[in-house]
A = this chain, B = another copy of it.
Amino acid sequence: MSLYLEDLQVGARFTSREMRVEEAAIREFAQQFDPQPFHLDHAAGAATLFGGLVASGWHTAAMTMRLLVDGGLPFAGGLIGMGANIEWPKPTRAGDVLHVVSEILAVVPSRSRPDRGSVKIRSRTLNQRGEAVQIAETKVLAMRRPSPG
């Protein structure tokens, strides 16, 4: 399945595969990009408002992208985002199993470039209890189906 601009309808929903979040992956991401104690160590996390080790929000964002690229949003030509509005209502913890449910909010053909448009999407990243660990509204490029010949 490879979706073009004209295939996308407001209200359409897409569901990704699942991904289990390993503790080692939380620490590894944090060491590289967000080396704060509550992303690296249980005891340090327990002393904070998180009450334990939690993933960096940017790690949750990156894992969400992986789930979208792996079939969660099967756009022709790939997923090229122009921006995003993100919230993290709850933290991601080791052992969580995440999946992403995306909904098309708007489809906007380009006025200047007739071969493309932009699509506004809300992607909710849910854990195994159905709690949202991330809600992102993104604007993604979508290409129109090439005309034959």
Interface residues of chain A, those whose CB is within 8 Å of chain B, are 29, 32-38, 49, 56-59, 61-63, 65-66, 69, 78-88
Q: Which residue of B lies closest to A86 (CB)?
A: B84
Copies of this chain assembled into the complex: 2
Give, as a whole number of angstroms, the nearest-CB distance from A72 to chain B.
12
**In the bound complex, CA of A36 to CA of B37 (Å):** 32
Q: Across the interface, do A78 and B33 meet the contact criterion of CB distance under 8 Å?
A: no
* 13 cross-chain CB contacts under 8 A: A29-B62, A32-B62, A33-B62, A37-B78, A49-B80, A57-B84, A58-B62, A81-B88, A82-B87, A83-B85, A83-B87, A84-B84, A84-B86
Q: Which residues of B contact A87 (CB under 8 A)?
A: 82-83
